[in-house]
Amino acid sequence: MPAASTAHPRSRPLTRAPAKARNGRRSGPSRRAGTGVRWDRVGRIAMLCVLAALLYLYLSAGIHMFSTWRQSSHARATVSSMESEHRSLVKQHQMLSQLATVEAEARRLGMMRPGEQPYVMSGLPKN
C-alpha cells in the first residue's frame, strides 16, 4: 500500500500565476525578454567611452610633449651653433680692428700711405 506522502507519478505540481507588482505590471520570468534596457551593458559601454576619451587625451598630451621636447632640442642645437659663430665673428672683428692688420691688408691690395714712394721690382726669379 502506498504511503500517503508520496504523490502520484502522473500528477504535476500546481503552479501559481505570476503575482502582479504594485504598479499593475507582471513581474518575474513571464515578462517579455529584450523589452527592458540593460543598464549593466549601458554602463559598460559608457565606461568604455570614458576610457577611450581619457586614453585619447593622455596620448595627445604625450605626443604634444614629445614634439615640444624635440623642438626645444633642435632650438638648443641652433643656439649652440650660433653662439660659436658669434664667438668667431667677435674674434675676427677684434683682429680686423687692429691698425696693423688693416695696414697689412691694404698693402696686400696694393695701397700705400700718402707720401710714400712706390717701388716696382721686376725680373725676380720664380721660387
The domains of the chain are located at: 39-108
Concatenated DSSP letters of 66-120: HHHHHHHHHHHHHHHHHHHHHHHHHHHHHHHHSHHHHHHHHHHTT---TTPPP--
**Residue 113 vs residue 10, higher pLDDT:** 113
**pLDDT exceeding 90 applies to what percent of the chain?**
47
Whether this model's pTM surpasses 0.75: no
What residue has cell string 688693416? 102
R_g of the chain computed on alpha carbons: 50
